[in-house]
Amino acid sequence: MTAIEPQAIPARRLEWRRAKARQVITETPRVKSLLLDVAGWPGHLPGQHVDVRLTGEDGYQAQRSYSIASPAEDTLVALTVERVKNGEVSPYLVDEIRMDDQFELRGPIGGYFVWTVAMGGPLCLIAAGSGIAPLMAMLRHRERQSADVPSVLLYSARSLEDAIYREELDAMAHRNPALRVVGALTRRQAEGWTGYRRRVDRSMLADTCFPPDRAPRIFVCGPTPFVEDVSSFLIELGHDASMIKTERFGPTGEPA
Amino acid sequence: MDEPPISRGFRSKRQDQGPTNRIPPGQYVTTDFPVLSAGPTPQSRPGDWTLELQLNGSRLGKWTWAEFQALPQTTIKTDIHCVTKWSKLDTTWQGVTFDDLLAAAAVKEPPAPYIMAHSDGGYTTNVPVADLVGGKGMIATLYDGAPIPPPHGGPARLLVPHLYFWKSAKWARRLRFMEEDEKGFWESFGYHNHGDPWKEQRYDGD
């Protein structure tokens, strides 16, 4: 071979970085937010995620993916983690991590399930449970940019106590009339609850999401059966499949 | 990073994970079958389904559902590995191998070194032909003896189990030969171009 091979340009590797817990917030009995100081964090887009790697004393390592809940405007990276029953990494992150504890993280990862103010609206966000985390990054970014993009969040939780970021969301909607926050409590409703008292269904989506002729950008995140149902309803209502971006988690058949 | 920080008290909860030489680095075994898709699940019925093999815009072969079912069927039992860290052992699939598709289209030698798989819903992924021939890749229509459920890629998905599972494109409709490699959907969003789980090729530069 005499031909000179073109030198491949090495892609920039996503390095493992050291993350230090600066604040641990109890969101619900099963969910905590970890606010992390990440050495050399390159920034991210709302909706992206990270890989977390824990190393045990015997050298054993485990990796999992978590959505980023903080906007790129913040210096700390927030992960909102739900304790998965019989899980390996999430119980440790939720129950064991204290201030100044360290672990490894790399990212940001993904680039499809993202929204920035520059992408415009209207914006329709639909979440169940801890699926709200990446959508919260979008809403926090929207607020930090003082944007008035017409937006709606439809958030399904089992009960009021299971609803993450409740006070922050209420305050956000109070400050910005272009944002509407709608709750659906599926199992237990507090006295005086004025939101929906059932699972998200087609008529609820028709009533809360912007109509198809306004071509909203739609983001759906939650357990697999929830996302499958919601995205099918949205298609039936006439929304274009290409406008619906989804993130699913958990097994196929787990009840939402 | 040189030395990873130690998480005090963190230890493996793994039990009965099977032979460790079947679990690539950074993966864990699940008995569930998680669903990862960037958009809604396309509702494609076998009656409307066709599979097409293309080169430079021309058709090398095209099969209806019935024609595809009449091709030689192969059953394989294999482990699958998702870039989101889960691995699932001993999954059983039935379909038509890439080799048998080429034979059915009377293509003796692959005419180009790369394939772009195109799916309902617009998903794409690029795979070297070398990773498909020799029984390494197939278009699968049955999972565990039953039609593949739509959220898992039914009616038909590409199956390239030795690469991370995003390469096994769900809802496959078209395989396009390419002279030059091009990036597919996730590959253009920073995921690794090849995706070998044993080399832990998750993202660009891995």
What ipTM, to 2 d.p.? 0.91
Task: Count the helices and strands in chain B (H runs, E runs).
Answer: 2, 11
Beta-carbon pairs below 8 A across chains A and B: 130
| pLDDT digit string, tens, across residues B86-95 | 999 999 999 9
Residue A86 contacts B where some CB pair is shorter than 8 Å: yes
Facing A55 at nearest CB: one of B5, B30, B39: B5
Whether pLDDT at B2 is above 80? no
Same domain assignment for residues A69 and A160: no
Q: Where are the alpha helices (DSSP H) in B36-116?
A: 65-69, 98-104
Number of domains in chain A: 2
Q: Does residue A79 contact residue A53 with C-beta atoms inside 8 Å?
A: no
Most A-contacting residue of B30, B35, B165 (CB-CB within 10 A), to test interface: B35
For residue B30, the chain A residues in CB contact (below 8 A) are: 251
In a domain, A29, yes or no: yes
Measured distance CA(A167)–CA(A172) in Å, rounded: 8
Facing B5 at nearest CB: one of A10, A102, A242: A102
Whether pLDDT at A253 is above 70? no
Whether pLDDT at B11 is above 90? no
pLDDT band at residue A11, thresholds of 50, 70 and 90?
low
Length in residues, chain B: 206
For residue A105, give its domain range.
Answer: 17-109
Residue A37 contacts B where some CB pair is shorter than 8 Å: no
Could you tell me the CATH number of the domain that includes residue B171?
3.90.420.10
Residue B184 contacts A where some CB pair is shorter than 8 Å: no
pLDDT band at residue A1, thresholds of 50, 70 and 90?
very low
B11 to A60: CB separation less than 8 angstroms, yes or no: yes
Please enumerate in sequence order all residues whose Cβ is within 8 A of that of A15, keeping only pairs 6 or more positions apart, or say none.
A40, A106, B1
Q: Does residue A195 contact residue A185 with C-beta atoms inside 8 Å?
A: yes
Residue B10 contacts A where some CB pair is shorter than 8 Å: yes
* Local structure of residue A122 (DSSP, 8 states): -
Same domain assignment for residues A85 and A48: yes
Same domain assignment for residues A127 and A104: no
Among A109, A142, A164, give the residue marking a domain's end: A109
- Provide the 3-class DSSP secondary structure of residue A151: strand
Looking up tokens 């995003």, which residue turns up? B166
Look up residue B64 and give its two tokens. Answer: 């209806």
Could you tell me the CATH number of the domain that includes residue A60?
2.40.30.10
For residue B195, the chain A residues in CB contact (below 8 A) are: none
pLDDT score of A230: 98
- A8 to chain B: closest CA residue: B205
For residue B75, give its domain range.
Answer: 26-31+45-199
In chain A, % of residues over pLDDT 90: 89
Please enumerate in sequence order all residues whose Cβ is within 8 A of that of A1, keeping only pairs 6 or more positions apart, or say none.
none
B7 to A104: CB separation less than 8 angstroms, yes or no: no
Whether pLDDT at A169 is above 70? yes
Facing B11 at nearest CB: one of A56, A63, A102: A56
B84 to A65: CB separation less than 8 angstroms, yes or no: yes
> B167 vs B20, which has greater pLDDT?
B167
pLDDT score of A216: 98
Positive or negative: CA dihedral A41, A42, A43, A44: negative
In a domain, A8, yes or no: no
> Residue B157: enclosing H or E segment and its boundaries?
strand B157-159
CA–CA min distance B149, chain A (Å): 10
> B119 vs B8, which has greater pLDDT?
B119
Q: Which of B121, B151, B125, B119 is nearest to A243 (CA)?
A: B121
Whether pLDDT at A79 is above 50? yes
Measured distance CA(A130)–CA(A30) in Å, rounded: 10
Looking up tokens 């004393």, which residue turns up? A57
Same domain assignment for residues A55 and A143: no
Same domain assignment for residues A242 and A124: yes
Q: Does residue A159 contact residue A185 with C-beta atoms inside 8 Å?
A: yes
pLDDT score of B12: 84
Q: Which of A148, A141, A78, A68 is nearest to A110 (CA)?
A: A68
Q: Where are the beta strands (DSSP E) in A56-163?
A: 61-67, 77-82, 102-109, 123-128, 151-157
